[in-house]
Amino acid sequence: MSSKLRSATLTPDEDCTLDMSPMIDMVFLLLLFFLVNATAIVVRTDPAVRPPVASKGKAQEDGRGRIVVNVRPDGTYTAEDFGVILPGEVEIADLVKKEKAKIDVLGVTPKLHLRGDKDVLFKYSRTAIKAAASAGVDQVVFAVFPAAPTGWKK
């Protein structure tokens, strides 16, 4: 009965309005939900390391569980924190063991993210791989630049 009364009292130039406040609240809640659940994975790169170009290179889909070891052109090793120079196989294995313990708690498979310079000998990369294997990490991801598509200018 009240709806008939209301429609009878409305003039034709009055519009019905929709309250958008609940919709805006819901959008902010969804935005907050996605921000809280998003994980930012940042791999800092050593400016002294220039990875090689690979024609079949592709981006890794899951970046979680990375243990970054850089192999510089002179054969020295650094961790993701560039101030830490790893003198040899024992120090690399210690770093990998420490990082593996942190990653295992998260329930993620740890991987050695090896960033070798394009001019470094493979024997240095092999040393890092062997050290990671002795620490219990058997998956290796090699960092490379993808080949530029044809038609690109340098």
CA separation, residue 132 to residues 41, 71, 76, 92, 125 (Å)? 21, 14, 16, 7, 11
**Stated pTM of the model:** 0.65
Give the C-alpha separation, 103 to 33, whole Å.
Answer: 24
Six token digits for residue 88: 């040899």
Query: Could you tell me the two tokens for 9?
Result: 């009292």
Closest by alpha carbon to 50, among 69, 73, 66, 67?
73
Region 28-37: what's the mean pLDDT? 88
- Sign of the alpha-carbon torsion through 96, 97, 102, 108: positive
The 10s digit of each residue's pLDDT in 47-73 is: 788 888 888 777 777 778 888 888 988
Going by the DSSP 8-state scheme, the letter that residue 11 receives in this structure is: -
- Predicted pLDDT of residue 42: 66
What stretches of 10-153 show up as alpha helix (H) in DSSP?
21-37, 89-106, 122-134
Domain boundaries along the sequence of the chain: 2-37, 53-146
Q: What is the pLDDT of residues 93-139, one digit of tens each?
A: 998 999 999 889 988 889 998 888 888 888 888 999 999 999 999 88
**Under CATH, which number does the domain 53-146 receive?**
3.30.420.270
Q: Could you give the percent of the chain with pLDDT greater than 90?
A: 19
The pLDDT value recorded for residue 148 is: 62
Are 41 and 63 within 8 A, CB to CB?
A: yes
The CA-atom distances, in angstroms, between 25 and each of 31, 33, 126 are: 10, 12, 55
Q: Check pLDDT > 90 for residue 27.
A: yes
Residue 151 has pLDDT above 60, yes or no: no
